[in-house]
Amino acid sequence: MDDLIAFLRARLDDDEQLGEIHKPDCDARIPYEWEFVCRCGLPARRSGDIAAKREVIKFAAWLDQNRAGSEFMEGRAQSARHVLRLLALPYADHPDYREEWRPGDQSAAHS
Ligand SMILES: [Zn+2]
């Protein structure tokens, strides 16, 4: 799971670098220092979305690290792994994406 977590963290870092404009002709675009930002709310939501995903990843990593010796925790870690695979799916066209991460049937993830 470490590789999937590293992959997701790298993609979120990439997304964060995309900047403060969601489209060049956004009506809410205003000049800011040497570039433009838009105040339509989408960049703020995107930033919040990235932060929320980082927390999901952190929680999944914690579950994975604390699953040993507990059937209950193992089950939770497997569910978290499925969630991470779903989060990785939008990046399936990235060269570092592995087909083995593609989420299957959730009931299969627990077998
Ligand atoms: Zn905008």
Q: How far is the CA of 21 from the centre of ligand 1 (A)?
A: 6
How close is the Cα of 25 to the center of ligand 1, in Å? Answer: 8
Q: How far is the CA of 20 from the centre of ligand 1 (A)?
A: 8
pLDDT digits (tens, 9 = 90+) for 25-75: 778 778 877 777 788 888 888 889 999 999 999 999 999 999 988 899 999
pLDDT greater than 70 at residue 111 = no
Q: Is the pLDDT of residue 80 over 70?
A: yes
Instruction: State percent of the chain over pLDDT 90.
Output: 56
Helix axes 71-88, 2-16, angle to 10 degrees: 40
Ligand 1 centroid to 44 CA: how many Å?
10
Ligand 1 centroid to Cα of residue 32, in Å, is 13
Q: What type of residue is 32?
A: Y
CA of 9 to the centre of ligand 1 (A): 25
Instruction: Say how many Å lie between the CA of residue 37 and the centre of ligand 1.
Output: 8
SS3 string, the chain, reads: CHHHHHHHHHHHHHHHCCCCCCCCCCCCEEEECCEEEECCCHHHHHHHHHHHHHHHHHHHHHHHHCCCCCHHHHHHHHHHHHHHHHHHHHHCCCCCCCHHHCCCCHHHHCC
Q: How far is the CA of 36 from the centre of ligand 1 (A)?
A: 10
